[in-house]
Structure 1
Amino acid sequence: MIQYRELQSREDLEGMQALERIIWDMEPIPLHQTMTAIKHGGVIVGAFDRENLIGFSYGFAGFSDGKAYLCSHMLGVHPDYQSKKVGEALKYHQQTFAAKRGFTHMVWTYDPLEARNGYLNLTKLGAVSFKYLENCYGEMTDGLNAGLPSDRFEVHWPTTASRSEIDFPEPESLADIVWLNEMPLLTNIRKIGSAQSYTMPIPKDFQALKKQDPKLAIQWRLDSRKLFQELVANDYCAIELKQDRDWHSYIFVKKSEVYYGGTAL
């Protein structure tokens, strides 16, 4: 049975560093940074299989527009434990600890073309995104991000209320996917009008696409960027990622339609 608790000791954080290397094959966060974060309001939650750390969610205190929030910066799960709901549970435990500290909401980023992350953040957790950050971290050299602009969705997730159900008509599609040499291409891109909701398709496995055709991956980044930026500029926010057999699709609705516990977003 997987157990969850806060990481607070130096030994805990050294275990987190080792796990970072396994998951991303990159230099881990320095101990002096993570130790400072947890001493000043940060929340780092670990998932343990017996004594072995197999996942973590790292967050530090943030402040914007007169409100404090938890910036849940990094979520990592050992490859042997992925797709087993460990990441989802880590987020919920971190949300509980954040609420106890008085944070009203949590914020983090993810690559909008990474379908697994989109499904977890929006569909499972019920978070939303209404900000698109172009090349958020500049050039990155790790295996997941090398060779692409580091565009990100910024995710917002209140700590004390769930998202209310949203009643919207059948969404209009903003683009289609066609297949060329067994590779998905974004085509028939349409203009954003005044519909209550839209769908936007993305590849089912962006990392596999990137390995097979790096140039096509860059094209996906640039084409989708334009649509995501236009949606955000027109006050739409992403609320869900629907999984289909060959590709996945985001659902966007007007930000004014989104409520958490009866309170507007």
Structure 2
Amino acid sequence: MQQLEKDTWGMEPLPIHQTLTAHKNGGLLLGAFQEGRLIGFSYGFAGFANGSAYLCSHMLGIHPDYQKQGIGEALKQAQKQEAARLGYEQVTWTFDPLESVNAYLNLTKLKAVCSTYEVNCYGKMEDGLNAGLPTDRLKVDWWIQSDYVNHSFVFSEEKAKVFAEYEKTKEGFPKISLHHSEYLEGEEALLVPVPKKFQEIKKYSFNLALDWRMDIRTIFLQLFTNGYTAVKLIQRPDEPANHYLFVKSSQLAI
């Protein structure tokens, strides 16, 4: 697992005494193997807040040679099954709201939900994905034994209003251009764009990447404060941006 952490993120791995102790005390380590070789893993430890225990899913790593093959989703589904067997009802973790591939897995496929935005969650980080930008994160809640997660109900974007519009730069990258704050008065569902290829934007224009970070921070905090929850990431094959779907939290029967 330590070698896989290095191969995946180029960072110093977690100490074995930490991961092993967490696993023996309510945490959960799961591996994906190819002919005996570890090619993916998930790592979570026990958390406790407001009188309830939950599983804090801290890491999901897939070797670069095996990414985009559905292994991450398979590990999460195995985590869900095993966490439920251990007695957990809730699994939580964080991810970067500007990484739409992660958002699609977490919200659309797994049906986790999010109403918490953590500003600069990990402070300054110097790895390739995070260097130079505030490490803002969304904290998701995955209610693994709920009807919402385990049955076919999904939210439709058909009647959702576009809360934030974007325009294209001359290079074809999306850029937030307008907020419709008046929609906060009563719309039940809202859409917010997020770039498909944020890391490419960061390489091309750090200032544009920073604009996205700050715009999304402002928008998400505003929506969460006004009683909305992010429930889905909608892919747009013909556009440079995908869209988050927000619904009024009162619509969630979890």
TM-score class, shorter: over 0.9
Q: Does 1:248 align with 2:242?
A: yes
Instruction: Name the SS of the counterpart of 1:150 in structure 2.
Output: coil
**What is the Cα deviation at residue 252 of structure 1?**
0.2
Q: CA separation in 2, counterparts of 1:168 and 1:242?
A: 8
Partner of 1:156: 141
Q: CA separation in 2, counterparts of 1:23 and 1:169?
A: 38
Q: CA separation in 2, counterparts of 1:165 and 1:28?
A: 37
Equivalent of residue 44 in structure 2, options 59, 72, 76 = 59
Paired residues for 1:95-244 under 5 Å = 95-163=80-148, 164-166=153-155, 170-182=159-171, 183-191=173-181, 192-244=184-236
**What is the Cα deviation at residue 40 of structure 1?**
0.5
**What is the Cα deviation at residue 189 of structure 1?**
1.6
**What is the Cα deviation at residue 97 of structure 1?**
1.0
Residues 79-130 of structure 1: CA deviation (Å, up to 9, x unaligned): 1111111000100101111111111110000000100000000001011101
Q: CA separation in 2, counterparts of 1:18 and 1:169?
A: 45
Kept after mapping to 2: 8 A contact 1:169/1:197: no
Q: Does 1:22 align with 2:7?
A: yes
* Amino-acid identity (%): 48
Q: CA separation in 2, counterparts of 1:237 and 1:120?
A: 17
* Letter of the structure 2 residue corresponding to residue 129 of structure 1: C
Q: CA separation in 1, counterparts of 2:130 and 2:103?
A: 16
What is the TM-score when the length of structure 2 is the normalising length?
0.93
Paired residues for 1:69-88 under 5 Å = 69-88=54-73
Deviation >4 Å, runs of 4+: none
Q: Cα RMSD between the aligned structures?
A: 1.2
Partner of 2:252: 258
**What is the Cα deviation at residue 166 of structure 1?**
3.7
Q: CA separation in 1, counterparts of 2:10 and 2:125?
A: 13
**What is the Cα deviation at residue 161 of structure 1?**
2.7
Residues 121-150 of structure 1: CA deviation (Å, up to 9, x unaligned): 000101110111111111111111111111
What is the TM-score when the length of structure 1 is the normalising length?
0.90
* Letter of the structure 2 residue corresponding to residue 204 of structure 1: K
Q: CA separation in 1, counterparts of 2:213 and 2:118?
A: 12
Q: Which runs of 5+ in 2 are unaligned?
A: none
Kept after mapping to 2: 8 A contact 1:168/1:196: no
Number of residue-to-residue matches in the alignment: 245
Kept after mapping to 2: 8 A contact 1:201/1:248: yes
Kept after mapping to 2: 8 A contact 1:166/1:257: no
Partner of 2:35: 50
Kept after mapping to 2: 8 A contact 1:166/1:258: no
Kept after mapping to 2: 8 A contact 1:169/1:196: no
* Letter of the structure 1 residue corresponding to residue 95 of structure 2: Y
Instruction: Name the SS of the counterpart of 1:188 in structure 2.
Output: strand
Paired residues for 1:27-46 under 5 Å = 27-46=12-31
Q: Which runs of 5+ in 1 are unaligned?
A: 1-15, 260-264
* Letter of the structure 1 residue corresponding to residue 225 of structure 2: A
